[in-house]
Amino acid sequence: MHVQAAVTYGAGSDFSLADIELEDPRPDEILVRTAAVGLCHSDLTARQYFPGGGVLGHEGAGVVEVVGSAVTGFAPGDHVVLGFDACGSCRACLGGRPYRCRNFAAMNYGGARPDGSTALRVGETPIAGSFFGQSSFASHCLATARNAVKVDPQLPLDKLAPLGCGVITGSGTVLNALRPFPGSSLVVFGAGSVGLSALLGAVVTQVGTLIAVDIVPGRLELARTLGATHVIDGRSDDVAGQIRDLTDGGADYAVETSGAASVVATAVSSVPEGGTVALVGLGDLQGTITLSHYEMVMGRTVMGVTEGNSVPQVYIPQLIDLWRAGRFPFDAMITAYPFDKIGQAVADSEAGRTVKAVLTF
Ligand SMILES: [Zn+2]
Ligand SMILES: [Zn+2]
């Protein structure tokens, strides 16, 4: 079928709108009419993988139109939020940890289905698809039962879309991975959508001292509105020292979302002996970080967290319940754009004017 999509051609290229061809769903696939799709940082960095052209987009939400013959549990008309994909058969998946799937890279940014085929063509030329099992920068996309999460059709899909990646990544780092004790202290580095989602998770768990660090004043302002007890300008002197002063010697937990190696070092220095740092952001895929041997031997823990250690089918409904109860106002981060304004959404996001852009159809 013809679909309208935003196609990219390599690192730094713009997203150009085009009418492209989408294959019919295979027996294990569902066809989803996209209602809204969030713009996530990985959509910008992943452009480099697909110099020959590809469709990104991995926070899709929409309505199921066609269900493959082998799919159970979904019907046309179902409303779904699309999350990350996982193979379902490796040791990690079988153990209930799809976010640790041994085939995560191939399943999510390989640019093709697990069997290597792509469902997308521009004219006769195949282009990369199946990004996070969806490639939802398009009016329609193919997903599977592995990464589709059914949601209440009464709920606004343009609000729910970011639950597919950014919001579960940030909040799950706190709620699933760190699990802070009520009254403890936590610092979030980077007050973008992932960092602010972490902050909202910390509010849910009744963290006592909750600090946000960023270099964009508007984001620090929003962090305060969402529950930060303190905010710090990341460009100010001795950020780790300021955090230690606010937390009686160091925050119990730190969540690093900026992806900058220098900020990782600051995060490690901002927690005390016994403190834990969660690394969530990734700027340079080839980058390395240097840790103080002494600080680590003294009992600090540094852990990497992917997709908030979450099982989307379990965790997204839990977040929706918290949101409906008024305890998880993640939609305060959203700025909506019509799909054809994707270029503006990218520019506003890169400039820090928009925290979480959601493209709507
Ligand atoms: Zn797996
Ligand atoms: Zn993402």
Q: Where are the domains of the chain?
A: 2-164+329-360, 170-306
If you measure from the C-alpha of residue 83 to the centroid of ligand 2, how many angstroms do you get, rounded to a whole number? 9
Q: What would the DSSP string read from start to end of 29-87?
A: EEEEEEEEEE--HHHHHGGGG-TT-EE----EEEEEEEE-TT--S--TT-EEEE-----
pLDDT at 143 over 90: yes
Contacts of 263 (CB under 8 A, 6+ apart): 189, 190, 234, 256
Identical topology for domains 2-164+329-360 and 170-306: no
Per-residue pLDDT band for 27 (boundaries 50, 70, 90) equals very high
Q: How far is CA 141 from CA 20, 133, 222, in A?
A: 11, 9, 33
If you measure from the C-alpha of residue 279 to the centroid of ligand 2, how many angstroms do you get, rounded to a whole number? 15
Which ligand is nearest to the Cα of residue 83, counting in written order?
2
Per-residue pLDDT band for 15 (boundaries 50, 70, 90) equals very high
Superfamily of chain region 170-306 = NAD(P)-binding Rossmann-like Domain (3.40.50.720)
CATH assignment, 2-164+329-360: 3.90.180.10
Per-residue pLDDT band for 54 (boundaries 50, 70, 90) equals very high
Q: Which residues are within 5 Å of ligand 1 (an ion), measured at CB?
A: 86-87, 90, 93, 101
What is the distance between the alpha carbons of residues 129 and 112, in angstroms, rounded to a whole number?
Answer: 5
What is the distance between the alpha carbons of residues 81 and 314, in angstroms, rounded to a whole number?
Answer: 12
If you measure from the C-alpha of residue 89 to the centroid of ligand 1, how many angstroms do you get, rounded to a whole number? 5
pLDDT tens string 273-305: 999 999 999 877 788 999 999 999 999 999 999
